[in-house]
Structure 1
Amino acid sequence: MKRFYLISLIIFLQISRVYGAGHPNPQEEPVKNLILQGIELTLNNRFEQAFRLYQDLIERYPHHPVGYFYCGATLQAQMLDREDYSDAGPFYSLMEKSIVLSDSLDAAGVNDPWVYFYSGSSHLYRGFLKMKLGEWFSAYKDASNGVSLLEKAIEQDSSLYDAWLGIGSYRYWKSARADFLLWLPFIPDERDEGIRMVYQAIEKGYFVEYVGKDQLVWMLLDYGRENEALALARENHLAFPGSRFFKWTLAAAAFRSREFDLSFRLYQELLDEIRNLPDSNHFNEIDCLVHLAEIEQIREDWLQAFRWSDEALRLNLDPEIRQRAKNKLKKALTIRNEAKLYIK
């Protein structure tokens, strides 16, 4: 009996040494403030600064997933901002590290719902990038695994509303895109439940207010609730006027709501910013030019519609970008051909 007690004590001390002192609570300082600072930097397009901040979290807590997850999330944000996925390898490595460390903590008996949150969120982020790269089946598998882990997090702590964001988004988009998931049996319509959960996450979560609003805008636009989406997009843009993420979202919401003057102004601002970025691959530039051409088409300003669409079609593109942008370029060609008919 004494020997069993001694072995148990040694195991406990080893776990405490590796995980106890280095097990941060995201709801408490200094971790909470570091996470929020990094999110603010990321939303303001200051990715390198955010990444360095989260690297400090890794140095402080090398056996915990928090720093690896947020480094990966920042890297993904930078890739999305540039529409350049050449850093997919380092991103996958960071998310895998977050998942492995979370699994190790869980296996060691660390009872912390945030461990499930980071593991689940890492799966979801990884799944999102795979979806962007066209790996649909693998993306769905990651997303499904991620949601299962987030559900474990709220089983332990139902007030961990940050986890509600991932679950709610998954439920909405799984229902909304059921036609793409042909290998699955009947999928119930959980769009309203998904929206409700995201609203709860925005209101009560620790770190997901603005990201949650941004995701919700796209869900509401998909659902046909344009006015509601536009109001949320305005809130985010007002809070972070320099954020390209929120400019893109507001420009799209304004376009869908037929607020064409606002949408046109935002796409022009984005175009100017993108052209000043180093090493642009022109993908986002095409997006702006085609939207500007489309707005002028609606206004029946055919000369300007021709100019914007022609500019998009004349860009010198790499074959990979031309392939990815083929639908946008096809729209530009359609607008340019129509505009030719009206220009005298």
Structure 2
Amino acid sequence: MVRFNILFLFLFLSLSAQRFPNPTVDSLLTNGINFILLEDYNSAEKNFQSLNQQFPDLPLGNIFLAAVNISKATDYNFELNEDKLDLLFENAEEITENYKDKYGENLWYHYFVALVNGYKSYYSIEQKDYLSGMFDGIESIKSFENCLEIDKNFAEAFVIIGNYLYWKSKKTEFLEWFPFIEDNTDQGIKFLERAVEETTYSRKLAVYTLIWVYINEKRFQDAVNLSRKILDQYPNNRFVKRALASAYYYLDKEKSIEILNQIKSSLVEDNALNGRNKIILNYRVAKLYFELKNYKKAGDICSKLLSDYAQTKTSDDVIIKRIEMTKELSEKIKENL
């Protein structure tokens, strides 16, 4: 679920190949999205606050302020600020409706609706409100389809719809013997590959989407190659490095360990290595060492984790689950020593 949520989030951190007609808005959006990809969340927030102040009749400032908060929480593994996000979504929806009253249901109106519903869907899924998440996600897809009806080259829609077609097919594979259930896997991949070729702002994000698709398709070297395309420009991007580590899990476990340790060092530098990140990353490294049959190294990491968390009282389900997984791995290690 976490992997899917991060992917879903990245899909909405983008604009289409058709730039927003106001050059100042275009510049603020481009710079703000770039700051998010650089994981400079403070600069991104200031950028989108400026967008809000200069263009209060557009919902984009509120939408992308929500994006900054969601991205930061996902990257740093901390709880979302529900009240703040609810207010941003409410403001964005109200401004969007006012925009429709003034300009009608044009391309950008449908794009705004798609973005708001897309982020609300991600947010609901994070809150484990899966029914609302599914509903908002479907509404977002419909709005992107409306964009394509107005402009068939609105490449942003290729990313979202391609992703939807691919993952819907994968999640319903067990129903394919029903006559009304279609397998849209290949069509979904083609949409995504077209988005990689045709988008401007969102090309790197379309590439990120394809990384996980290729991993799921067991095309691991393709996933590595795509990851490198983003890391050439954003060498410290932790979202992409997490995906790259997952691809290397199947190709080169030592390399996967190296990348996970880079992520951990990067979080330390940003003063963001909290309890969740620490145990998640160290557990993954320990498990890789175990699979490499380096039982001593794996055991040392597990022992350190269990020692660190022995006196910790927490109600965090993520940490509690990882502690239990670490205990189970530690027992398996002892059996092999």
Q: TM-score range by the shorter chain?
A: 0.7 to 0.9
Provide Cα deviations, 1:46-85, integer angstroms capped at 9, x if missing partner: 0010111011111111011122212111111111111112
RMSD: 2.5
> What is the DSSP-based 3-state SS (H/G/I as helix, E as strand, rest coil) of the residue aligned with 1:108?
helix
Match of 1:152 in 2: 146
Match of 2:282 in 1: 289
Match of 1:209 in 2: 203
Match of 2:192 in 1: 198
Match of 1:263 in 2: 256
> What is the DSSP-based 3-state SS (H/G/I as helix, E as strand, rest coil) of the residue aligned with 2:207?
helix
Show the 5 A alignment for 1:82-121.
82-121=76-115
User: How far apart in 1 are the matches of 2:313 and 2:124?
Assistant: 21
Quick one: which amino acid aligns to residue 121 of structure 1?
Answer: L
Q: What percent identity do the matched residue pairs reach?
A: 20
Matching of residue 319 in structure 1 with residue 334 in structure 2? no
Quick one: which amino acid aligns to residue 264 of structure 2?
Answer: L
Which of 17, 22, 47 lines up with 2:41 in the alignment?
A: 47
Q: Is the 8 A contact 1:244 1:270 kept in 2?
A: yes
Quick one: which amino acid aligns to residue 276 of structure 2?
Answer: F
Q: Is the 8 A contact 2:48 2:65 kept in 1?
A: yes
Which of 166, 174, 192 lines up with 1:172 in the alignment?
A: 166
> What is the DSSP-based 3-state SS (H/G/I as helix, E as strand, rest coil) of the residue aligned with 2:246?
helix
User: How far apart in 1 are the matches of 2:210 and 2:29?
Assistant: 22
Provide Cα deviations, 1:216-251, integer angstroms capped at 9, x if missing partner: 211221232222212111211222112122221211
Matching of residue 138 in structure 1 with residue 132 in structure 2? yes
User: How far apart in 2 are the matches of 1:310 and 1:27?
Assistant: 57
How much has 1:179 moved relative to structure 2? 7.6
Structure 1: any 5+ residue segments left out of the alignment? 1-24
Which of 294, 303, 318 lines up with 2:296 in the alignment?
A: 303
Q: Is the 8 A contact 1:121 1:166 kept in 2?
A: no
Q: Is the 8 A contact 2:314 2:320 kept in 1?
A: no
User: How far apart in 2 are the matches of 1:253 and 1:326?
Assistant: 27
How much has 1:180 moved relative to structure 2? 11
> What is the DSSP-based 3-state SS (H/G/I as helix, E as strand, rest coil) of the residue aligned with 1:319?
coil
Quick one: which amino acid aligns to residue 293 of structure 2?
Answer: E
Match of 1:241 in 2: 235
> Relative to structure 1, is the Cα distance of residues 48 and 158 closer, same or farther in structure 2, using a 3 angstrom cutoff?
same
Q: Is the 8 A contact 2:122 2:133 kept in 1?
A: yes
- Larger Cα Rg: Structure 1 or Structure 2? 1
How much has 1:261 moved relative to structure 2? 2.3
> Relative to structure 1, is the Cα distance of residues 218 and 113 closer, same or farther in structure 2, using a 3 angstrom cutoff?
same
User: How far apart in 2 are the matches of 1:180 and 1:66?
Assistant: 39
> Relative to structure 1, is the Cα distance of residues 171 and 230 closer, same or farther in structure 2, using a 3 angstrom cutoff?
same
User: How far apart in 2 are the matches of 1:197 and 1:89?
Assistant: 36
Show the 5 A alignment for 1:270-285.
270-278=263-271, 280-285=273-278
TM-score computed with the length of structure 1 as normaliser? 0.83
Quick one: which amino acid aligns to residue 266 of structure 1?
Answer: I
Match of 1:219 in 2: 213
User: How far apart in 1 are the matches of 2:83 and 2:180?
Assistant: 35
> Relative to structure 1, is the Cα distance of residues 279 and 194 closer, same or farther in structure 2, using a 3 angstrom cutoff?
same
Task: Report how many aligned residue pairs link the two structures.
Answer: 315
Quick one: which amino acid aligns to residue 39 of structure 1?
Answer: I
Q: Is the 8 A contact 2:161 2:188 kept in 1?
A: yes
TM-score computed with the length of structure 2 as normaliser? 0.85
Quick one: which amino acid aligns to residue 234 of structure 2?
Answer: F
User: How far apart in 2 are the matches of 1:63 and 1:202?
Assistant: 31
User: How far apart in 1 are the matches of 2:211 and 2:119?
Assistant: 18
User: How far apart in 2 are the matches of 1:318 and 1:150?
Assistant: 46
Match of 1:334 in 2: 328
Which of 54, 57, 61 lines up with 1:63 in the alignment?
A: 57
Query: Higher relative contact order at CA 8 Å, sep ≥6: structure 1 or structure 2?
Result: 2
Q: Is the 8 A contact 1:55 1:67 kept in 2?
A: yes
Q: Is the 8 A contact 1:65 1:115 kept in 2?
A: no
User: How far apart in 2 are the matches of 1:120 and 1:96?
Assistant: 14
> What is the DSSP-based 3-state SS (H/G/I as helix, E as strand, rest coil) of the residue aligned with 2:20?
coil
Provide Cα deviations, 1:234-293, integer angstroms capped at 9, x if missing partner: 2112221121222212111211x3222221111111122334444654212222111111
> Relative to structure 1, is the Cα distance of residues 214 and 88 closer, same or farther in structure 2, using a 3 angstrom cutoff?
farther
User: How far apart in 2 are the matches of 1:180 and 1:97?
Assistant: 41
How much has 1:165 moved relative to structure 2? 1.5
Bigger mean CA offset, 148-157 vs 226-235: 226-235
Q: Is the 8 A contact 1:66 1:98 kept in 2?
A: yes
Quick one: which amino acid aligns to residue 244 of structure 2?
Answer: L
